[in-house]
Amino acid sequence: MVISEKQRSAKKPAKQGSGEDAPEPIKIGASTPYDFDSKNLTAYGGLLPVATMLEKLKFRQLVEQTLTVKRVTRAMPWYQFVLSMVLALYVGFSRLHHLRFLAREPMLVGILEILELPPQCTFWRFLASLHLTVAQQLVEVQRQMRQRVWEAANVKLKSVTFDTDTTVHTVYGKQMGARRSYNPKNRGKKSFQPLLTFLAETKEFVGGELRNGDRPTGKQIAKHLESVMSTVPKGVQVIYGRADCGFYCREAVETYEKYGCQFIVVAQKTARLLEELKAAHWKRSPRTDADEQCEFWYQPTGWERAYRFIALRYKKEREPQEQESEQYQLFETGKYLYRVFVTNMDAAIDLLVWFYRQRASAENLIKEANNDGRASLQALGHELRALPTGHAGLQPELLVGALQPRKDGRRRGDETRTTVDDATAFSISGGQDLVS
């Protein structure tokens, strides 16, 4: 019996093998149509609260009253030149060449009330027209802005600690002032050695000086410390100073004492000092990482009087940790390693050593100053280095709470703040120990 295929109702078998290839995914290319309807969208919206903060602190009135600018500008008023550079530093642009990226930025030009920023050459002509006295005037602007920020944020510090240090800034090519000097990371290369001072309690950049690559002399160190001491805000009663062995000199000690500063400085190795260390009376040091400790009064050559020296001694087979050796200069002898400080404070040895170790945070601030565009050591020449930006005095983070009202209607700044960023405030006087 023949069965017709048309009348067959059996199901046909499924097809074997792979099916058809899947279509390619949709890709976005140059020919993809697009549209944008929003207006005035900007990545720099954070400049608005910064501009508001400067307005509340009366930054414009202070700049116009303090700075002496005789050049008649045409592109825009000279204050707007200063303000545009300050705002650019806040954004993170550390060079005038970077301002071309903000030439038509709606937020910036809106704050400056102009249509477009002038070209880079116009900014350079403006800076070239400024007299050298403007640098000192900018330092005064920085001091007064710090005072206003502290008052606005209700920061009431009775004591402050200045951490002074140098940093090595390697340069390439033929740059004026570059020297082959101490450069542990790039040995043999030319560098600058800026002087920097930070306020430990608030992490503020207090003062700095871009200088050549030679080691700073005693007169240069004294001049830097004097400029720093003159920036102490009102209400501060006690000043502390900490510095490494690069600042161990008579001029630095005399400057500290001239302003009533209580200091501790790492001593440098000398033959006379080694003799004093060998003749000193040593005792066990249970509260430090050292094996023994001692203290004695010693008058270095050329100093007017004797000072208190404290020392730690380590047995030679017990090598100190690498991170500690970066913070101190170790005197190496046949059997021991020594760590020596000079101070005018009467606190216990272990507390003074602990107090100096808190200076390690300054190293992080120096790295930030080297890498952060707001405080770049390469930015805008000597005059602009004193502008109060970021860690250079304005400290917008201190005003975050001060400018925002609370639920009860009062400003958050009405609460007294004695420490910032978990810093510790303490006082030392007479024979009292450190109290945290």
Residue 201 placed within a domain: yes
The answer to whether residues 436 and 424 touch, using CB atoms and an 8 Å cutoff, is: yes
Specify the pLDDT at position 340: 94
Exposure letters 383-421 (e unless 16+ CB within 10 A, then b): ebbbbbbbbbbbbbebbebbbeeeeeeeebbeeebeebe
Spatial separation of the C-alpha atoms in residues 97 and 115, rounded to whole Å: 19
* Same domain flag for 70 and 146: no
Among the listed residues 394, 381, 378, 365, the one whose alpha carbon sits nearest the alpha carbon of residue 87: 394
Specify the pLDDT at position 62: 94
Specify the pLDDT at position 322: 46
* Same domain flag for 214 and 116: no
* Same domain flag for 151 and 218: yes
Specify the pLDDT at position 206: 86
Specify the pLDDT at position 15: 67
Please return the burial class of 38, using the count of CB atoms within 10 Å of its CB with bins 0-12, 13-18 and 19+.
exposed
CB within 8 Å of 35: residues ≥ 6 apart: none
Residue 20 placed within a domain: no
Exposure letters 346-368 (e unless 16+ CB within 10 A, then b): ebbbbbbbebbeebeebeebbeb
In the listed set 106, 128, 150, which residue is the last one of a domain according to the structure?
Answer: 128
* Same domain flag for 324 and 208: yes
Residue 162 placed within a domain: yes
Specify the pLDDT at position 364: 73
Specify the pLDDT at position 208: 82
- Full residue range of the structural domain in which residue 375 is found: 133-414
* Same domain flag for 118 and 256: no
What does pLDDT average to in each consecutive run of 10 residues of the chain (436 residues)? 60 63 61 60 74 92 92 90 89 83 86 90 91 86 88 89 88 84 83 88 84 87 91 88 92 94 93 91 92 94 94 76 48 79 95 90 69 42 35 36 43 40 36 34
In a 3-state reduction of DSSP, which class is residue 138? helix
Residue 252 placed within a domain: yes
Specify the pLDDT at position 34: 60
Spatial separation of the C-alpha atoms in residues 281 and 65, rounded to whole Å: 59
Specify the pLDDT at position 243: 93
The answer to whether residues 206 and 233 touch, using CB atoms and an 8 Å cutoff, is: no
Residue 8 placed within a domain: no
Specify the pLDDT at position 232: 85
Among the listed residues 328, 334, 197, the one whose alpha carbon sits nearest the alpha carbon of residue 269: 328
Specify the pLDDT at position 335: 81
Residue 4 placed within a domain: no
* Predicted structure pTM score: 0.69
The DSSP result for 338-386, as a single string, is: EEEEEES--S-HHHHHHHHHGGGHHHHHHHHHHH-GGG-TTSSHHHHHT
* Domains held by the chain: number: 2
Spatial separation of the C-alpha atoms in residues 13 and 57, rounded to whole Å: 85
Residue 391 placed within a domain: yes
* Same domain flag for 188 and 102: no
* Same domain flag for 174 and 238: yes
* Same domain flag for 293 and 185: yes
Specify the pLDDT at position 401: 37
Please return the burial class of 371, using the count of CB atoms within 10 Å of its CB with bins 0-12, 13-18 and 19+.
exposed
The answer to whether residues 341 and 311 touch, using CB atoms and an 8 Å cutoff, is: yes
The answer to whether residues 374 and 94 touch, using CB atoms and an 8 Å cutoff, is: yes
* Same domain flag for 124 and 137: no
Specify the pLDDT at position 42: 61
Structure tokens at 40: 């005035």
Structure tokens at 205: 């950049």
Specify the pLDDT at position 213: 81
* Same domain flag for 112 and 179: no
Residue 253 placed within a domain: yes
* Same domain flag for 305 and 347: yes
**CATH number reported for the structural domain that contains residue 333 in this entry:** 3.90.350
Residue that is written with structure tokens 């501060």 in the block: 236
Residues in the chain: 436
